[in-house]
Amino acid sequence: MIPTAQAESDLAIPSMQPLLDNLNAVFATGKTRSLDWRRQQLNALESLVSDNDVAIQRALKSDLGKCEMEAWASEIGFLLSDIAHTRKHLGKWSSPRKVGTPLVAWPGKSYQLPEPLGTVLIIGAWNYPLQLTLAPFVAAIAAGNCAVLKPSELAPATSAVIAELIPKYLDSSAVAVVEGGKDESTALLACRWDHIFYTGGEAVGKIVMRAASAHLTPVTLELGGKSPCLVDKRADLKVTARRIVWGKWMNAGQTCIAPDYVLVEQEHVDAFVAAIKAELHAQYGENPLQSADYGKIINARHLRRLQSYVEEVSVHYGGEVDEMALRMAPTLVVDPDLQSDLMQEEIFGPVLPIIPLASLEDAIETVRARPKPLALYLFTSDDKLQQRVLSQCSAGSVCVNDTMLFMTNPELPFGGVGNSGMGSYHGRAGFDTFSHLKSVMRRGFSFDVAFRYPPYTSLKRSI
């Protein structure tokens, strides 16, 4: 049975209620609602990230072996452009959003007025430990909320950097960081937040949702799952392989939107596998375990989990492990048992199963038979096939003829569907997630037509 947040908090650590009370009191002053305060906080966060990029790089290297380029593209640079985009659009996003007014309410005006929710809790994951904690935070402060951040304990160096720097740069009366793991999360979840934003796995997602339900707190759950990648034999093989290798083996496969497995037509498997091997060689060299551009597995437990996946299947390529360095080479498995753990669980590591199918029609069925994924990838130049997959397969996001690149577009909300999550963020979607869009109708005192008021005479009823 999954333990409840309340039951466990009794055993573990002091209540987080005093912290929440303080933040709620600050929120009640209205300080965080002003656009000036929000802009100051965004500027402060931007300075935090750019002033300390060396310390952040070092932390990401220590936690995940991230090379400079990856750390920049997927964490530091990503955040800086998220902050810049949010600051640029803040005025517009926070303004009233005019809607039409029906004749019956004329003269009158109708609009939605975004307002902050209050004090929100953000629980981050370990695989992009900076981005996944601070990008929701950008949206939360832009929307005018107080916030508590709980970075993942599995990336301790990045968690420590966040905990050290946030109070130095941001308004510590309105923002706090709580470091720790399950016990601290449990104590936090026992409190009544105005929103909980959680990134991580499905099992803890259920704990979060159960704890939130005790207070009717809305949740955003950014979860994961097995993201499929469909490759049509008519796709440009070289470009396809290059983009799949990039998306799959960045961060050693520990990416929630990495292609989890590939579905390829049987007759095309050999050519596809050869192209992937050639690309792996081109991107990570003869010995990927020694490549400066190749990341490490987060900890020994996860390395062991990944090793157990490949022990029960036949490895076609790779599979080497450096246990001391927590590294596992890019690994290909061709035609594994679909009931194996490798094909039942989210891999979240550098192993790519390749599943041969008679046709891509079967691929659509395979995807539809499984829980709705966070991302779906399709490589084909056939427009009709693109339309078929788009209309028949559900997924949080779809990227046609590339992997992961949709994340760079802040105009595209990011989030899951079904088991891969609920709610979304990035750009305006994030601002809206941390806002209540209050519906307002404003009227004056003129044209007060008596028709709608009782008594409902027979004349009124007849019209």
Active site positions, annotated: 222, 256
What's the rounded Cα separation, in Å, for the pair 92 and 321?
51
Binding mask 128-157 for ligand NAD (x = CB under 6 A): ----x-----------------x-xxx---
We find the least distance from the C-beta atom of residue 407 to ligand NAD, in angstroms, to be: 9
Chain residue at closest Cβ approach to ligand NAD? 224
* Of 200 and 295, CB closest to ligand NAD: 200
Q: Which two tokens stand for residue 289?
A: 């375990």
**Sole binder of ligand NAD in the list 222, 232, 265, 432 (CB under 6 A):** 222
HSE (side-chain half, CA atoms, 13 Å) at 221: 23
Task: Give the whole-angstrom CA distance, residue 158 versus residue 345.
Answer: 27
Judged by CB under 6 A, does residue 74 bind ligand NAD? no
- Which range touches ligand NAD (CB under 6 A), out of 221-229, 282-290, 354-362, 378-386? 221-229
Residue of 186, 380, 419, 424 interacting with ligand NAD (CB under 6 A): 186
* DSSP string over 228-289: EEEE-TTS-HHHHHHHHHHHHHGGGG--TTS--EEEEEGGGHHHHHHHHHHHHHHHH-S-GG
Closer residue to ligand NAD (CB): 139 or 223: 223
Q: State which residue, 38 or 150, has the beta carbon closest to ligand NAD.
A: 150
For residue 126, state whether it binds ligand NAD (rule: CB under 6 A): yes
Contact flag: residue 245 with ligand NAD (CB under 6 A)? no
Neighbours of 407 (CB within 10 A): 18
Region at 174 (left for phi over 0; alpha for psi -120 to 50; beta for the rest): alpha
Q: Would you count residue 123 as binding ligand NAD (CB under 6 A)?
A: yes
CB nearer ligand NAD, residue 204 or residue 245: 204
- Separation between Cα atoms, residue 205 and residue 363, nearest integer Å: 29
Q: How crowded is the C-beta side of 224, counted as CA atoms within 13 Å? A: 23
- Binding to ligand NAD, residues 345-384 (CB under 6 A): 346, 348, 374
Under the criterion CB under 6 A, does residue 201 sit at the interface with ligand NAD? yes
CA nearest neighbour of 302 among 254, 368, 255: 254
Strand partners, 99: 110
Interface of this chain with ligand NAD, residues 408 to 437, rule: CB under 6 A = 416, 421
Token representation of residue 452:
């709608």
Q: Would you state the structure tokens that stand for residue 211, as one six-digit string?
A: 């704890």
User: What does 183-231 look like in DSSP terms, one character per residue?
Assistant: HHHHHHHTS--SEEEEES-HHHHHHHHHHHHTTT--EEEE-----EEEE
> Does residue 397 touch ligand NAD according to CB under 6 A?
no
Radius of gyration of the chain (CA): 25
CA-CA-CA-CA dihedral for 369, 375, 380, 385, to nearest 10: 50
Using the minimum distance from each CB to ligand NAD, give the nearer residue, 144 or 423.
423
9 binds ligand NAD (CB under 6 A): no
Q: Are 300 and 284 in contact (CB under 8 A)?
A: no
Our finding on whether 82 is near ligand NAD (CB under 6 A) is: no
Q: By CB under 6 A, which span of 123-131, 166-174, 287-295, 400-408 interacts with ligand NAD?
A: 123-131
Cβ 31 to ligand NAD shortest distance, Å: 28
Query: Which segment (121-129, 242-250, 303-311, 448-456) binds ligand NAD by CB under 6 A?
Result: 121-129
Q: Applying CB under 6 A, does 204 fall inside the site for ligand NAD? A: yes
Q: Does the footprint of ligand NAD cover residue 181 (CB under 6 A)? A: yes
Residues 6+ apart with CB under 8 A from 290: none
**Residue from 94, 127, 424, 435 binding ligand NAD (CB under 6 A):** 127
User: Using the rule CB under 6 A, is 83 a contact of ligand NAD?
Assistant: no
Q: Phi and psi of 322, rounded to 5°?
A: -110, 100
If residue 20 lies in a helix (H) or strand (E), which one and from where to where? helix 17-28
Where does this chain touch ligand NAD (CB under 6 A) — which range of 24-32, 39-47, 179-187, 441-449? 179-187
- Please give the residue ranges that form the binding site for ligand NAD (CB under 6 A): 123-127, 132, 150, 152-154, 181-182, 185-186, 189, 199-201, 204, 207, 222-224, 256, 346, 348, 374, 416, 421
